[in-house]
Amino acid sequence: MRLVRYGERGAEKPGLIDAEGRLRDLSAHVPDLAGEVLADLSALKAIDPRTLPPVEGSPRLGACVGQVGKFIGIGLNYADHAAETGLRVPREPVIFAKYTSCLSGPDDPIIIPRGSVKTDWEVELAFVIGRKGRYIPEEEAMSHIAGFCVCNDVSERNYQAERSGQWSKGKSSDNFGPLGPWLVTPDEVADPGNLRMRLTVNGEVMQDGSTATMVFKVPFLVSYLSQFFTLHPGDVVTTGTPPGVGMAMDPPRFLKAGDVVELEVEGLGRQRQLCVDDA
């Protein structure tokens, strides 16, 4: 299934994309794609999409999961990205928080915060927890995942690396966490460890990589994170980025108002964001 949330910000409704690519309304069956709804999607899978009301027009798409409890980032998780930044591949996953107030829809604007001088892009594969778990064995990890989606881990590098403290202040500005367009259930993702990833800025290819160069794979990450805290339905983990980020260019290149960022992960859909200055 390709699940979506559509409508005005803060009032999104659940929906799905049918085999013909048409948006259909799920709100008569579930209140939101969130929490315990994600723990068991079997009832939704049993619905014939043709029986659902079609949604007319082209409504805004919101983040593809609602009521997110934890939004966890994994840093330096691609060997080729670590190499371009001049940093060693970590012995264990680097974990940081993206505060949930940064969540936005896949085509909402990237808001460049006041005083920003180094706003950067990162195309990433994200997964959403479906089944609650603690101390999850790696061989059981995939059964705890509700689905996969595209994430742009937008990052302000000056705030992240040069303003002291943890990375989260550079990762959590408003609209720095576009998720979607769809939450794709695991049965439709043949191999999350081998998906093409691509990002352009103003039509110029910046990132063109694959999840095949991911250091710590998805099952390991689920198990690893669960050793430190309980994973709950709706928690989001974004798993790192391939090479081609702006800070690693010579000279470095960063986003400015008017730039258009487009990104995709194979089988998971596309995002498009216009960069705007914060009011």
Domains of the chain: 63-277 (3.90.850.10)
User: Is pLDDT at 165 greater than 80 in this prediction?
Assistant: no
Would you place residue 166 in the very low, low, confident or very high pLDDT band (cuts 50, 70, 90)? confident
pLDDT at 195 over 90: yes
Distance CA 23, CA 57 (A): 9
Structure tokens at 157: 């590098």
| Tokens encoding 46 | 């049993």
pTM of the model: 0.96
pLDDT (0 to 100) of residue 89: 84
Mean pLDDT of 226-255: 97
Average pLDDT, the chain: 96
Residue type, 256: K
Residue 6 predicted with pLDDT over 90 = yes
